[in-house]
Structure 1
């Protein structure tokens, strides 16, 4: 059975991605850092619902040693990882002049070091097998930049560059590397916004609705499927037309 690792998979977009792959018959490794209760509850729910192996695995993706230990445990319990979804991330809004040095470092490290660590830990098996799928989650703000989100936009833009360069390097090993850039998606990250702001965001989206985690999960599952075998280095904007 093929195994998928979804980082930051305990809630929001990550949990929808985990469920989508479970529904397709994959063994799913749900990575979490702090949300142990949610990750374990989700793994039990998906195992019961879809009758596939699912496990919750703790690791701070910024920490290479924790990632290495996690990947080894997943391989032992679920099998070799053939699909990696680099989804783990954080988001905060702050004026650039108010961003502290530590906040800047944590933002970039969570997204960029996280993708670096997880990818390096799984890619050797992919190269050996001459097959693998790596799907990175960026953001529309990584494409356009977002006011009061300079650190977040910078990190997500880095994910796009990471995707394009790595796609070229791993293509000879038959490994596809692609990226999904969500728009405004209804997750806990939107809790900081007022109803008025959310209504404005919806009205400024040409499709006149906010996105759902499932909208993103379907796009990620496509990049994980055989149907995408001739696609690599792609940046797919899933934002209802907010950014075109």
Structure 2
């Protein structure tokens, strides 16, 4: 015997509400990781790849271990993406045309090869990901300058704009004072865009540094990037 339409509709609405809550639980963890992770390329503006590598190593103490990475990075990210996609399916309508949704899909598309190359692909070429520093993105920017600039820069811009819009939504919904405490649309986009520009400048500055890769390590890095169709 099939369920009455009203029962199915009620179940669907409750599921959407639950998915919305899951969708909103994960961003604080993702944004904390984003802040730590992007600090490294940001300081490249003043200290180059050497300082970036040092800051990255400090950041790894926060998030990169067998226990913390699934809990603080990959778990919240998987929860946010899966809840968002499932909710979109249950809503039976296309996503709204706004900056939050328009940056979500480019960020997801650019994140996939980034995670594969920098976290998963390293093992395939005999590298320990914890030993990789900013010589790796420097190598990519110097060997494949245009596509690397687009892939790194595009990911930074999409992620920061998406985070800025998402933070504004959460503040408006959950913070005491609601919408009055959120930055105006123009201000938050200026802030997110300015941070993205500063991080992007730090990333691009690596392309103009001398490379310290020689022999086997250079060949290993080439093999690492050529695992991805985007770099073949």
TM-score, with normalisation over the residues of structure 1? 0.27
Please say which structure displays the higher CA radius of gyration. Answer: 2
Higher helix share: 2
Structure with the bigger RCO (C-alpha within 8 Å, sep 6+) is 2
